Chains A and B, each alone.
Chain A
Amino acid sequence: MNLRRVRTVVRAMFPIVFMGALFLYALWPWLPFHDDTRTRRTIVFYGFSVLEAPIVERISPGFLKAWKDSTGESIDLRSSFAGSGTVTNQIITGVPAQLALLSLEPDADRLAEAGVVEPKSWRKLPHDGIVNRSPFVIVVRAGNPHGIRDFEDLARPGIRVVHPDPLTSGAASWSIVAEYGAGARAHPEDPQAGYRLLLGIWKNVVAQAASARAAMAQFENGFGDALVTYEVEALAGAHAGRPAFEVVYPRRTVLSEHPLVIVDRNIAAPDRAAVDALVRYLWSEEGQRAFVRANFRSVVDSLNRDNPRFGAIEDPFLVEAFGGWARAKADIVDGVWKGRVLEELGR
């Protein structure tokens, strides 16, 4: 009888105790007896997907320490990462980004078209606003079972290629330029060479992920024979005890360039100094070295010798080779890829 009473009481009390404990856990850091870290000033940083580890693990701690050392103030860096196109759309719809490191300039142009930033305002920053670079490479399974050596091999029948989606991913647009450019530069006498290589590779595309990160995750989960992605992403994937991948350096490939955009309308006057300091830090020697350690290539070429994992590329080219992004987007991505390749494939 007594035991039943106890059981009833326990049953009645359990939900209250359980929910109470959850509530206490949830509220814990905000309870008054903690020293208040919530009133710290924050910088809000948005970046394209593969920046997550470099920013969170290297740039952010380095900058926050430098700021603390020089001003004595502790501040926080809040960050969010997604495909470059997604980040751009988020900023247009009004997320409070103060800085955005985008994968490619056309996304910055879209911000300017939407009235978020002044047109080409990033060009006034150091290195025309380009913070770092990364060549586009091919990732294959351990032992390279299909013997893939270059972009041409991705066009062979039966190779399954994982590719990010150009709608949302900057990496996808870079990949298209890399593939087209590799074909065009291998056969400068043949104006159709770029189109043919692009078509051959896209016949083999079996998955289109929303971002370079998502594409890598699909590949890691066992999908596809080859992946086209940033070198920085490939080196991270081939590292860290993951089921071994191999990185294949094409003879000809594009060096992607990532512009920084400052969203002035989201920067209140008191935050300006800290935001500007972070901008300077990104191009400082310390910041650039941090990117090199994170497998991004620095805009200062001499620093790139510090990373022995960077592979050699016979003919690296910039998007300037095709007249800059404005031309390359119209001619290669929209003209050749969307207009002819997708048309031909009936997608």
Chain B
Amino acid sequence: MSRQGGQPRAIVPVGILLLVLLPLLLLPLGAMFVFAFSGGWSDFRAALQTPEAEFALRFSLLIAFATAAINALLGTFAAYVLTKFEFPGRGLLMTLINLPVAIPTVVVGTSLLLLWGPIGLIGRWLDPQGIQPMFAPAGVLLAHLFVTFPYLLGTVKPLMGELETTYEEAALTIGASRWQTFWHVILPGLRPAIFTGALLTFAHSLGEFGATVMVSGNLRLKTQTAPLYIYSQFETGNIAGANAVAAVLATVSFIIFVVVLGSLSPTRARQ
């Protein structure tokens, strides 16, 4: 900011940008906060303290933590395999893995239902066993893992490709196993990228709607995530209640993105 402030005439392009962004981004966000606090601070707190709202927020956060943790492991492993090994079909696999970014999340939800649901390909065998992953927290987690998978890969894989291979080769030459090399040589360099990717995954999971609405069954106090709560409250006409939770989600996401951007800044990257 201070660097740009020193440049001449920054005020014109910055002003134009703000004017463009005002109706696109800033005013809608502002409207949400205005409605969230339309009844004052005490109403805002009361809206957040209903059992349904509290549960929805907590459930969303727990799912987001689990999604970020599992995808941090899976994504790092996937990035490692896809960068370090040559094998037929690698390109195709890369494309498939990135597909969740492009296909509608509702389709993800439907496809999970058709696999794991009681009438699904695998689900119809599990159902008589009493195993029902769909319409349960496990189903929500599955959907979130699917939808957010590409984000961690996106931050880790480019860095993995850029890593100096000489250290790695040196480690292997002096007799380190592949695992030791990965743990002591490759992983330390990736830590900031994994951290950033995990936070992005977390934020996306927190806001996931399309796939969740298909697989969760939308049971209050059981499988209703915060975005589903917001939607159902809005539909019910409880605009203040919906916006109170929405404001919390937006604030948490905002802080996370500040952290992400901060961790990407040059000072952090050097550490």
A residues adjacent to B (C-beta < 8 A): 11, 14-15, 18-19, 22-23, 25-29, 42, 44, 49, 52-53, 76, 78-82, 90, 93-96, 211, 213-214, 216-217, 220, 237
Q: Which residues of B contact A216 (CB under 8 A)?
A: 237
Q: How far is the CA of A213 from the CA of B255 in the complex (A)?
A: 34
Cβ B259 vs Cβ A15 within 8 A: yes
Point out the residue from A78, A95, A217 that lies within 8 Å of B221, measured CB to CB. A78
The listed residue (B62, B236, B255, B262) touching A217 by CB distance below 8 A is: B236
State A90–B109 Cα separation when bound (angstroms): 13
* A26-B61, A29-B58 given; A79·B237 CB < 8 A: no
The residue on A at minimum CB distance from B62 is: A26
Q: Name the interface residues of B72-118: CB closer than 8 Å to any CB of A.
A: 113, 117-118
Minimum Cβ distance to chain B for residue A170 (Å):
16
Q: Are A94 and B132 in contact (CB under 8 A)?
A: yes
Q: A18-B255, A26-B62, A96-B135 are in contact. Are A80 and B219 (CB under 8 A)?
A: yes
- Given A15-B263, A76-B221, A94-B127, output 15 extra A-B contacts at Cβ < 8 Å: A26-B58, A26-B61, A26-B62, A27-B62, A78-B220, A78-B222, A79-B220, A93-B118, A93-B134, A94-B119, A95-B217, A96-B135, A96-B217, A213-B236, A217-B236
CA distance A53 to B238 in the complex (A): 11
User: Which listed residue (A18, A23, A96, A214) contacts B61, Cβ 8 A?
Assistant: A23
- Chain A residues near B135 (CB-CB < 8 A): 90, 94-96
Complex Cα spacing A90 to B213, Å: 11
Q: Nearest Cβ distance between residue A55 and chain B, in whole angstroms?
A: 10
Shortest C-beta distance, B217 to chain A (Å), equals 4
Q: Which residues of A contact B119 (CB under 8 A)?
A: 93-94
In the complex, chain A residues whose CB is within 8 Å of the CB of B113: 93
Knowing A15-B259, A78-B220, A82-B218 are in contact, say whether A22-B252 is a contact too (CB < 8 A): yes
Q: Interface of B with A (CB < 8 Å)?
A: 57-59, 61-62, 65, 113, 117-119, 123, 127, 132, 134-136, 195, 199, 202, 217-222, 224, 232, 234-237, 252, 255, 259, 262-263, 268
Chain B residues, CB < 8 A from A15: 195, 199, 259, 262-263
How far apart are the CA atoms of A42 and B219 in the complex, in Å? 12
A-B contact pairs, 26 of them (CB 8 A): A15-B263, A18-B255, A22-B252, A23-B61, A26-B61, A42-B222, A49-B235, A78-B219, A78-B222, A79-B219, A80-B217, A80-B218, A80-B220, A80-B224, A93-B113, A93-B117, A93-B119, A94-B117, A94-B118, A94-B119, A94-B134, A95-B217, A96-B219, A213-B236, A217-B234, A217-B236
| Chain B residue contacts of A213, Cβ below 8 A | 235-237
Bound Cα distance A44, B136 (Å):
13
Give A216 to B234 CA distance when docked, in angstroms. 11
Across the interface, do A26 and B65 meet the contact criterion of CB distance under 8 Å? yes
Contact for B235 among A53, A95, A214, A237, CB less than 8 A:
A214
Q: In the complex, which residues of chain B have a beta carbon less than 8 angstroms from the beta carbon of A214?
A: 235
Contact: A14 with B62, CB < 8 Å?
no
Rounded to whole Å, the gap between the CB of A223 and the closest CB of chain B is 13
Give the complex CA separation of A53 and B220 in angstroms: 13
**Residue with the greatest number of chain A CB neighbours at <10 A, chosen from B136, B259, B263:** B259
Tell me how far the C-beta of B9 lies from the nearest C-beta in chain A, rounded to whole angstroms: 31
A52 to chain B, nearest CB (A): 6
Q: Of all chain B residues, which has the CB nearest A97?
A: B217
Tell whether, in the assembled complex, residue A211 and residue B58 are in contact, meaning their CB atoms are under 8 Å apart: no
CB-based nearest B residue for A210: B235
- Closest-by-CB residue of B relative to A211 is B235
B54: shortest Cβ distance to chain A, in Å? Answer: 8
Q: Given the complex, which residues of A lie within 8 Å of B117, measured CB to CB?
A: 93-94
A96 in contact with B252 given A213-B236, A217-B236 (CB within 8 Å) = no
Complex contacts, B132 vs chain A, CB 8 Å: 94, 96
Q: State the Cβ distance, A12 to closest chain B Cβ, in Å.
A: 8
CA distance A160 to B85 in the complex (A): 64
Residues of B near A82 (CB, < 8 A) are: 218
With a cutoff of 8 Å between Cβ atoms, the chain A residues found around residue B123 in the complex are: 94
- On whether A25 and B217 interact (CB within 8 A), knowing A96-B132, A214-B235, the answer reads no
The 6 closest A-B CB pairs, nearest first, are A94-B118, A26-B61, A95-B217, A15-B259, A95-B135, A26-B58
- Bound-state CA distance A310–B62 (Å) is 46
Most A CB atoms within 10 A — which of B61, B132, B136, B217?
B217
Residues B58 and A28 in contact, CB atoms below 8 Å apart: yes
